[in-house]
Structure 1
Amino acid sequence: MVKLSFELAQQEREIAQQEREIAQQERERADRAEEERQQAEAALAEERRQKQQLWERLKEMGIDPNQLS
């Protein structure tokens, strides 16, 4: 009976450890996803900034960007 209690306690500790590891992996995945989202947002913002700069340069040159095909 004592041996069964010891084995059960050991299994519970192992399950708890596995649960902690899974939770850590989930946090890491969420962190990576957030980092990727932020990088995508930054890339999009940079693309918009460059497009706006190009449009302003074209206008300075007397070219209507809307008329370009």
Structure 2
Amino acid sequence: MSDSPRASVIYYCPFCAEEDLRPVEEPQGGWRCNACARVFTVQLATVDTTRIPGRLREEAELQEGRS
């Protein structure tokens, strides 16, 4: 993952679901929705790798190989 605040583009406003979004300088990494006038940021906290289907299959195969 990148540390850049603009690494991902936001496509929809989380408040009104409109698509008319523009990046703003403050707050850093913020977006302004032109439809509802809200300014917001979105931050990814973590990725729960225990729920990725491919990983679950790999873990099961590793367990079978150890048995």
Q: TM-score range by the shorter chain?
A: under 0.3
Q: Name the structure with the higher strand share.
A: 2
Q: Is the helix fraction higher in 1 or 2?
A: 1
TM-score by length of 1: 0.26
- Calculate the TM-score normalised by the size of structure 2: 0.26
Higher relative contact order (CA 8 A, sep 6+): 2
